[in-house]
Amino acid sequence: MNRQAFLRILGVSSLLPLSWLWSRMILTQDKYLTASVSQKKFRNLADGINLFDEVIIVRNPGKTMVFSSRCTHAGCRITRSENNILLCPCHGSRYDATTGKVLKGPAFESLHPLPFSLDQITGTITVKI
Amino acid sequence: MKNCLRLLLFDTYGRIATAALLLCILSGIFLAIPYDISLPYLSVTLMVTANPYASLIRNMHYWSAQLFLVFTLIHLVDHLKQSTEDNIKSRYTWLGVTLSLLVTAYAMISGFILKADPDSLQARRILAGLLESLPVGGRILQQTFMGNEKNFQPVYIHHLSTATLLLVIVIYDHARTIWGSLKTLLITLFMIGLLSFFFRAPLSTMDENILKGPWYFVGFQEMLHFFSHPVYLLVFSFLVLAVIFLLPLFRPSIRKVVKYLLFCFLFVYLILTLVAFFFRGENWKWQWPWEHSYHLKTALRWKPLTFHTPVKPVFVVLGRAEGCVACHGGMKGLTESHNVHQTGCFSCHRGDPFTLDKTQAHRHMEMVPGNLSNARMTCGSPGCHPGICDRIPGSLMATLTGMISVDRFAFGENKTPDGVAGLANLGNTAADRHLQHLCVGCHSGNEKTKPGPTAWLDRGGGCNACHLGYEKQARAEFEQQRGKQGVLPLYHPSISLNITNDRCMSCHSRSGRIATSYEGWHETLLKPNEVKNLKGFKILPDGRVFSYTGSDIHYQKGMGCIDCHGSYELMGDGNAYRHKEQAVMVQCIDCHRKDTGNTVKLREADRETQLIYGLRGWKEDERKMAVTEKGNRPLSNTCLAGDSAWMMVGKTTGKTMKMKPPAAACTKGKAHSRLSCEACHTEWVPQCIGCHNAYEKETLGDNMLTGRPEQGSWVEYKDKFLADKPVLGIREKKIVTMTPGMIMSIDIGSFTGKPETINRRLYAPASGHTTLAKGRSCKSCHNDPLAIGYGRGILTYQVTGKTGRWKFEPRFTAKKADSLPEDAWIPFLKERKDISSTRLNIRPFSIEEQHRILTVGACLTCHKENAALMIQSQDDFQKTLQKRIANCVLPVW
C-alpha cells in the first residue's frame, strides 16, 4: 500500500464516524425539540372552517375537528376552502372539511387530525402541535 | 449560418455558465448587505420598493443565476451530444460533475426560498417534506439542508457557502480553470445588466392565491400534481443522476440509447414546464393563458429601474414595504380597520406594491375591488376575509337558485320549483331567456364596473353592494376630479358596516318588494306625470310610482334592514339554500321573547360576531345577547338588560329600543298555536295579478347577465297591483302568509313558434315587512275569502230555516284556463291537486281546514270578535260548540 492509497482509505473511513456524529447530533436535537411540544390556544372561532398557519379547525354544531394544515401529499400548507372543501394551492388536492378525507388527489391520505381539548364554557380550543 | 452562430456565441457554453456563476457570487456578496435573515421578506420588499441600487444587485443575482442554470444545462446536453464525457478520465471528477447538478438545483431553490414570499415558503415546505420522506437518512438531510420552518439560517449558510464552494470546486476540477476570459465575463455582465435593468426578479405578495415554484421547478410541480407519492419522483431524480454517473461505463451503443432517453425526458420536462407556467391557475386548476390571471400578467415584470425617484418615506404594511403608501398615506375617509396604514392599498387594489414609480405601481390595478370576480384576490385574499369570500358565491343573493328554479318550473322546464340552479348555467331555453331579460339583474355578482358613488339603479357589485359608502367629502372630491388625470385623491369612500336601507332598495323594491313595503310604499301602475306634486306618492329613480300605504312598526321605531338581518344571512353561512326562507335565520320570536331563552355572552360568541361588535365600537361587557332559534346565530345588537328586559341597539342609528314580549293573546289557548306571528301581524302585502309574458322578436331588450342589448326580448305586461292583507297557507305545520306570486300567462309560442300558452296560478310565501303591533281581526281571516284563498269578493253566510250555507261571489271574472277568478288560489270550498305554490312544502287550506275556518266564521256572523264566548272558544272550540243554543245554525257543506 502506498501513501496515497493509505490516505484515501483513511479519508473514506473517517466519513463513517463523521456520519455517525452528524446523525446523532440531529436525532438528539429532534428528541430535545419534540420533548417541548407546543400548545396553541384558539378562542371564539366562527362556525365552519378556520384556517391558521399550522392548524385547520372545523367547527360544526356539536362537532369540532382539528387538522394539521399540512397537505398529506407534499407538505404544502392548505390556505383556502370552498364549499366545505379544503384546497391545497400547490398541487390541487381537495379534502372534505368535515372529515379530512381526500376528495380528489394527488393526495391519498386524509388530513392528519391533531389532538385537542375543548373548554365547553369558554369555547377555547387547545391544540397540541 | 455557422458564422452567424459563432458570432452570437462568444464563448463555450461552459465558460458562459462559469462567468455567470462568478457574477452571481459577486452580486450575492453585495446582496448580503441589505438582506436581513431575521426579517427576510421585509428586507427583500424594502430593497425592491425603495432601494433601486439594491434592487439592481438583486436582479443581477437572480438573472446571473438563471443564466448559470440555463448555460450549465446546455453545456451538459452539448457535451453529451458530442460524447465528450470520455475526456474526463477521473471517476471522481465525473462523480463531482454529476453531483454538481444536484448542488446547482439546491443553490437555485435555496435562493428562491430565501426571498421568503408565499411561493418560497410553500416550496420550502415541499422540499423539506420530500427530503424527510426519503426512506434512508431523510430526517437528517432535511434538518441539515432545510432546518426548522421559521429558521432561515441553514438554508442561508448552505446557499452562500456550501453550495457555492462545491460548485466552484467542481468547475475547477473538470475545467481546470474558473476565470475564463475577460471578454466572456464582460459580455455576460452586459447581458445580465440588461436583463436586470428591464426585468425584476420575481417577488410575490402575501395575498396571492396562485402558488407556483420557480420556473425551472414548475415542471416538477406539474409532475407532483399527478404523483400520489412524491418520494418516487425524488428517487427517480436520483436514478437519473445515477444513470448520468454510470454513463461512461456503458457500451457506446447502449450509451446512445440512454442519452436519447435522457434527451426525451428533458423535452417532456420542458413541455410540462410550459404547461405548468401558462395553463395552471388557482389551486392548480387548468386554465387557458388568456383567462383572467393576475399571476400570469405579472409573472415577468417589464420594469426599467429608475434611479431618479425622489426619496419618499416607505411604509411597512402587513409585514412588507408598500410603495403605494408613500403617495397615498394621507388618504382620509377610511375606517380604522381599512386605514391605509393598516392594510395598505395593494390588499384591495392590487397593482404593484413594490415600486415608487407611479405608472408601474398602477399597472394591473383593480379600480373596483370587491366585485365577486376579483374578490378572491382583493377582499377575500388569504390575509383578509377569505372565509367570507368563500361563503358569498354560494349564498342565495349570488346564486339566485330559488328565482331560477321557480321560473323554470313556471315555464314547465323543471318538474318542481325546488331545484338547484345557478347563474353560471343559464342557457337559451324560454325560461332562461326570460330570466336574462327580466330578472337576473339583481345578484351580488353583478359587476360594479366603474369607481364612484353607487347609483340607485346599480345593482350588485359584490362586497361594494353593501360596504362601500361615499360620504360627503369623498363624493364631492369624486365629482370634482371626474375625468381629470393625475390628481391625487385625498378622500376614499368608506368601507364600513354602516349599511343603510337604501343599499337594499334597488333590488328589494322588486318582486316581493320588501324594502319598499317596509318603508310603507306600495307600487302602482301610475305614471310619474300623473302624480307630480301629489302628496302620498313617491317616484323611484327608475320611474316607478309608489303610493304610501303604511310602514312597518320596526321602521317606525327606527330600525334598519341590518338590525335583523346579519352577516350569515346576507353573505351566506356556507350552506346551499334553495329559497330565501331557508337562508333567513331571524324570526320574530328571537327578539320578542317571554323568557331569556337561548343567549350567549360576547366572549363566548363566534369570531365574526365579535369582530362586528368591536368594529361598531360597542363596549364589551358581560351582558347576554339573544341567539336565533334557527341557525343558532347571535344577534349582536341585542342584549338582556336586567332579568327579562330585552333591548336592541340600532346598528346604524345607535338608538336603543325595547323589545316587547308577545301579547297574551298570541299564546292564548290551543286554537291558534299553528299561526305564525306574521300571519296575524302582517298588515298588507303587494299582490300582483293578471300578468302576461310574451317574447317579442322586434323588441330591443337588455341581457341582464351580460349587460349587453339584444334584439328580441321577453316582455312583461302587468294588470293589477293590489295591496291587501296576505292570503294564508300552510308551510309544513305552520300557517303562513302568502301572495299571488305567479298568476300569469306565458305566451310560450311567441318564443318557440308553436301556438302554445302556459297559464300558471302559483302562490308564493310572502314576507310582508309590513308588521304592525296590532294583529288582524278574527273576521279578517275567518270571514274573508281572500285570506282563505278564494280571492276577493263577497262571502256571505246564508241561513234558511235550520240550514246555513256559505256563498261566495268573486270580484274578478274567471280565467278561461282554469275557471277560477283571476286572484284565487283555490276554488271555493274545494281543493287543488296540482302544485299550487312556488314551494313544495307549502299548500293552501285543505277542505277540512276550510270547513273549520268557516265554521268559526259562521259564529262570527252573530257573535262579536271580542265577546267572552269567542275568547273562551279559543281554549276548546268543540266544547263551546256543544254548548250552543238552538238558534245557532252551523254551516252545511
Q: Select the residue from A91, A93, A110 to test the B interface by mutation, using most B Cβ atoms within 10 A.
A: A91
What pLDDT is stored for residue B8 in this prediction? 60
The pLDDT tens digits for B702-718 are: 898 888 898 899 999 98
- Cell numbers describing residue B286: 387548468
| Residue A15 Cα, gap to closest chain B Cα (Å) | 15
**What number is the average pLDDT over the span B15-22?**
90
- Cell numbers describing residue B647: 333591548
Q: Residue B643: left if φ>0, alpha if ψ -120 to 50, beta else—which one?
A: alpha
Model confidence band, residue B299 (pLDDT cutoffs 50, 70, 90): low
Q: Is A85 on the interface with B (CB under 8 A)?
A: no
Cα–Cα distance, B512 to B584 (Å, whole number): 15
CB atoms within 10 A of CB A96: 15
What pLDDT is stored for residue B297 in this prediction? 61
Residue % of chain B over a pLDDT of 90: 38
The pLDDT tens digits for B423-475 are: 888 889 999 999 999 999 899 988 888 888 888 888 888 999 999 988 888 88
Secondary structure letter of residue B394 according to DSSP: G
Q: Is B230 on the interface with A (CB under 8 A)?
A: yes
Is the confidence at residue B769, as pLDDT, over 90? Answer: yes
Question: Are residues A90 and B122, on separate chains, in Cβ contact within 8 Å?
Answer: yes
What pLDDT is stored for residue A90 in this prediction? 87
A22 neighbourhood in chain B, CB within 8 Å: 140, 144
Secondary structure letter of residue B160 according to DSSP: I
Q: Is A30 on the interface with B (CB under 8 A)?
A: yes
What pLDDT is stored for residue B224 in this prediction? 86
**What number is the average pLDDT over the span B383-405?**
88
B129 neighbourhood in chain A, CB within 8 Å: 70, 74-75
Tell me the residue ranges of DSSP E strands in B403-527: 468-469, 494-495, 521-523
Who has greater pLDDT, B431 or B619? B431
What pLDDT is stored for residue A44 in this prediction? 66
Question: Are residues A90 and B224, on separate chains, in Cβ contact within 8 Å?
Answer: yes
Is-contact B487 B473, C-beta < 8 A? no
The pLDDT tens digits for B849-866 are: 999 999 999 999 999 988
What pLDDT is stored for residue B63 in this prediction? 94
The pLDDT tens digits for B655-703 are: 999 998 888 888 777 788 899 999 999 999 999 988 899 999 888 888 9
Model confidence band, residue B891 (pLDDT cutoffs 50, 70, 90): very high
Cα–Cα distance, A116 to B857 (Å, whole number): 62
A46 neighbourhood in chain B, CB within 8 Å: 387, 606-608
Cα–Cα distance, B127 to B131 (Å, whole number): 6
Is the alpha carbon torsion for B15, B16, B17, B23 positive or negative? positive
Is the confidence at residue B66, as pLDDT, over 90? Answer: yes
Nearest residue on chain A to B282, judged by CA atoms? A89
Reduced DSSP (H G I as helix, E B as strand, rest coil) percent helix, strand, coil of chain B, to 5: 45, 15, 40
Tell me the residue ranges of DSSP E strands in B573-644: 599-601, 624-626, 638-641
Who has greater pLDDT, B301 or B313? B313
Who has greater pLDDT, B596 or B656? B656
> A-contacting residues of B 269-288, CB under 8 Å?
282-285
Who has greater pLDDT, B64 or B329? B64
Mean pLDDT of chain B, nearest integer? 88
| Residue in B362, B361, B379 with CA at minimum distance from that of residue B370 | B379
Nearest residue on chain B to A47, judged by CA atoms? B606
Q: Is B138 on the interface with A (CB under 8 A)?
A: no
Model confidence band, residue B309 (pLDDT cutoffs 50, 70, 90): low
Its CATH architecture, for the domain A39-128, is 3-layer Sandwich (2.102)
Question: Are residues B209 and A70, on separate chains, in Cβ contact within 8 Å?
Answer: no
Q: Is B125 on the interface with A (CB under 8 A)?
A: yes
The pLDDT tens digits for B571-582 are: 998 888 899 999
What pLDDT is stored for residue B296 in this prediction? 62
| Residue B566 Cα, gap to closest chain A Cα (Å) | 14
Q: Please name the member of A48, A74, A82 whose beta carbon is closest to the beta carbon of B129.
A: A74
Cβ-defined contacts of B641-650 (< 8 Å, 24+): B643/B596, B644/B593, B644/B594, B644/B595, B644/B596, B646/B591, B646/B593, B648/B559, B648/B563, B648/B591, B649/B618, B650/B558, B650/B559, B650/B560, B650/B563
Highest mean pLDDT among A32-41, B50-59, B134-143, B381-390: B50-59
The pLDDT tens digits for B402-422 are: 999 999 999 999 898 988 888
**What number is the average pLDDT over the span B312-337?**
85
What pLDDT is stored for residue B150 in this prediction? 79
What pLDDT is stored for residue B207 in this prediction? 65
What interface predicted TM-score (ipTM) does this complex get? 0.85
Q: Residue B530: left if φ>0, alpha if ψ -120 to 50, beta else—which one?
A: alpha
Model confidence band, residue B731 (pLDDT cutoffs 50, 70, 90): very high
What pLDDT is stored for residue B293 in this prediction? 61
Is the confidence at residue B294, as pLDDT, over 60? Answer: no
Is the confidence at residue B308, as pLDDT, over 70? Answer: no
Residue bearing cell 323588441 = B699
The pLDDT tens digits for B179-223 are: 878 888 898 899 899 999 888 888 888 666 778 888 898 898 898
Q: Select the residue from A80, A81, A98 to test the B interface by mutation, using most B Cβ atoms within 10 A.
A: A80
What pLDDT is stored for residue B492 in this prediction? 92
Q: Please name the member of B128, B284, B603 whose beta carbon is closest to the beta carbon of A75.
A: B128
Cα–Cα distance, B148 to B125 (Å, whole number): 10
Model confidence band, residue B307 (pLDDT cutoffs 50, 70, 90): confident
Residue bearing cell 297574551 = B664
Superfamily name with CATH number, domain B2-248:
Cytochrome Bc1 Complex; Chain C (1.20.810.10)
Interface size, chain A vs chain B, as Cβ–Cβ contacts under 8 Å: 117
What pLDDT is stored for residue B72 in this prediction? 92
Q: Please name the member of B140, B224, B610 whose beta carbon is closest to the beta carbon of A106.
A: B224
**What number is the average pLDDT over the span B25-48?**
92
Nearest residue on chain A to B131, judged by CA atoms? A74
- Cell numbers describing residue B215: 420556473
| Residue B569 Cα, gap to closest chain A Cα (Å) | 14
B210 neighbourhood in chain A, CB within 8 Å: 89
Sequence letter at residue B603:
R
| Residue B389 Cα, gap to closest chain A Cα (Å) | 9
Question: Are residues A22 and B140, on separate chains, in Cβ contact within 8 Å?
Answer: yes
> A-contacting residues of B 632-671, CB under 8 Å?
632
| Residue in B466, B478, B464 with CA at minimum distance from that of residue B378 | B464
Highest mean pLDDT among B371-385, B533-547, B618-632: B533-547
What pLDDT is stored for residue B212 in this prediction? 84
User: Where in chain B is CATH 1.20.810.10?
Assistant: 2-248
Q: Is A118 on the interface with B (CB under 8 A)?
A: no
Q: Please name the member of A23, A75, A80 whose beta carbon is closest to the beta carbon of B140.
A: A23
Model confidence band, residue B798 (pLDDT cutoffs 50, 70, 90): very high
What pLDDT is stored for residue B833 in this prediction? 87
DSSP secondary structure string for all residues of B8-41: H--S-HHHHHHHHHHHHHHHHHHHTTT--TTSHH
Question: Are residues B129 and A75, on separate chains, in Cβ contact within 8 Å?
Answer: yes
Q: Is A123 on the interface with B (CB under 8 A)?
A: yes
Secondary structure letter of residue B675 according to DSSP: B
Q: Please name the member of B225, B285, B606 whose beta carbon is closest to the beta carbon of A46.
A: B606
Nearest residue on chain B to A83, judged by CA atoms? B574
A73 neighbourhood in chain B, CB within 8 Å: 224, 228, 230
SS3 assignment, position B478: helix
Residue % of chain B over a pLDDT of 70: 97
